[in-house]
């Protein structure tokens, strides 16, 4: 892998140190749009740290991040390097001092995801991938599961910001429950993608995510042999948020995989 991937991993580890030190003090919790959509002073602090440090690693790179009003893909982002950052993915878990919460750094080249680094500080798990170079967990090559849906457990996100999205997700989870070995929820989208990439689970679906929630994990998953699309089976545009359906190698092409489009059509799009 390219030297800069290792430097990005170091930056993610330093971000993890800031996150690990946070508990015991005041977290500075604020609510954002929708229900249970929080930001803490640590989300902001980690994003500020990363924008400074990553700028040193890739001079001239542009930035898109969940916090600090940097959350839109701009026309200039189509060219050169663009970092897409979620300083803490799983903030609600973080607030409750519960694993998983991760630092996620995606790197786009000419508008396309090119590399991803996801670090889980509590368990000291470092996931990384570069396009064409494979995916790794703590330096060891990882592959998604070759098992079918019936051989796997699945993950869903609970869309904490929207009760109507939650209700539809539960309907989809009900269908999966009868076709796989069980449905789980972790509270971190990027971690879910890494769990799929590393073969621990068969896949993950969630109705609405920001670009920063899957920018890094999608490269890690694809480099591990998995597949990621929207609910209609279309490739992601990587120009903004989306619903996602991520599956391992064995489930891509499994005819027992439910059609996800009707679930997206069922959602009224309400936030809150
Ligand atoms: C959230 C997590 C969660 C998902 C939410 C995301 P945040 O990100 O990824 O798993 O269900 O939709 O917003 O707010 O903790 O960065
Ligand atoms: Ca997130
Ligand atoms: Ca976040």
For the residues of the chain, what is the DSSP string, one character each? --HHHHHHHHHHHHHHHHHHHHBTB----EE-SSTT-EE-HHHHHHHHHHHHHHHHHSTT-EEEESSTT--S--GGGGSSEEEEEEEEE-HHHHHTT-S--EEEEEEEETTEEEEEEEEETTTTEEEEEETTS-EEETTEEE----S-GGGS-EEE---TT-HHHHHHHHHHHHHHHHHSS-EE--S-HHHHHHHHHTTSSSEEEEEEE-GGGTHHHHHHHHHTT-EEE-TTSPPP-SSS-EEEEEE-TTTTT-TTSPP-HHHHHH------
Q: Which ligand is nearest to the CA of 87?
A: 3
Per-residue pLDDT of the chain in tens (272 residues, 90 and over written 9): 899 999 999 999 999 999 999 987 889 988 877 777 788 999 999 999 999 999 999 999 999 998 878 899 999 999 999 999 999 999 999 999 999 999 999 999 999 999 999 999 999 999 999 999 999 999 999 999 999 999 999 999 988 788 999 999 999 999 999 999 999 999 999 999 999 999 999 999 999 999 999 999 999 999 999 999 999 999 999 999 999 999 999 999 999 999 999 999 999 988 88
Other C-beta atoms lying within 10 Å of the C-beta of residue 154:
26
Helix axes 41-57, 3-22, angle to 10 degrees: 160
**Is residue 179 a contact partner of residue 150, using CB atoms and an 8 Å limit?**
yes
**Strand-pair partners of 31:** 38
Q: Which atom of ligand 1 is nearest to the CA of 206?
A: 11
Q: Which atom of ligand 1 is nearest to the CA of 158?
A: 11
188 lines ligand 1 (CB under 6 A): yes
Nearest CA to ligand 1 atom 16: 89
Q: Which ligand is nearest to the CA of 42?
A: 3
159 lines ligand 1 (CB under 6 A): yes
**Strand-pair partners of 112:** 109
Q: Report the C-alpha gap between 40 and 199 in whole angstroms.
A: 32
Distance from chain centroid for Cα 270: 22
**Is residue 154 a contact partner of residue 148, using CB atoms and an 8 Å limit?**
no
203 lines ligand 1 (CB under 6 A): no
Instruction: Give pTM, 2 decimals.
Output: 0.97
pLDDT at 102: 98
**Apex CA 13: angle with CA 10 and CA 16, to 5°?**
155
154 lines ligand 1 (CB under 6 A): no
Q: How far is the CA of 12 from the centre of ligand 3 (A)?
A: 14
Q: Report the C-alpha gap between 67 and 164 in whole angstroms.
A: 25
Q: How far is the CA of 89 from the centre of ligand 1 (A)?
A: 6
């Amino acid at each position: 892998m390219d030297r800069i991937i290792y430097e990005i991993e170091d930056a993610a580890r330093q971000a993890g140190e800031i996150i690990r030190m946070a508990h015991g003090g005041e977290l500075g919790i604020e609510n954002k749009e929708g229900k249970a959509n929080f930001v803490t002073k640590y989300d902001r602090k980690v994003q500020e740290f990363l924008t400074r440090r990553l700028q040193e690693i890739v001079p001239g790179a542009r930035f898109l991040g969940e916090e600090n009003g940097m959350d839109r893909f701009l026309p200039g982002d189509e060219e050169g390097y663009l970092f897409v950052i979620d300083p803490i993915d799983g903030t609600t878990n973080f607030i409750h001092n519960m694993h998983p919460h991760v630092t996620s750094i995606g790197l786009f080249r000419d508008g396309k995801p090119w590399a991803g680094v996801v670090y889980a500080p509590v368990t000291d798990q470092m996931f990384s991938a570069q396009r064409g170079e494979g995916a790794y967990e703590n330096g060891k090559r990882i592959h998604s599961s070759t098992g079918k849906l019936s051989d796997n457990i699945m993950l869903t996100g609970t869309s904490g910001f929207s009760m109507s999205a939650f209700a539809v997700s539960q309907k989809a989870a009900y269908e999966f429950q009868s076709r796989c070995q069980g449905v789980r929820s972790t509270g971190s989208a990027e971690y879910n993608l890494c769990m799929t990439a590393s073969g621990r689970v068969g896949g993950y679906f969630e109705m609405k995510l920001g670009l920063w929630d899957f920018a890094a994990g999608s490269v890690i998953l694809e480099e591990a042999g998995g597949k990621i699309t929207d609910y209609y089976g279309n490739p992601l545009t990587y120009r903004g948020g989306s619903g996602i359906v991520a599956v391992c190698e064995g489930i891509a092409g499994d005819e027992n995989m439910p059609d996800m489009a009707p679930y997206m059509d069922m959602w009224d799009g309400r936030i809150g």
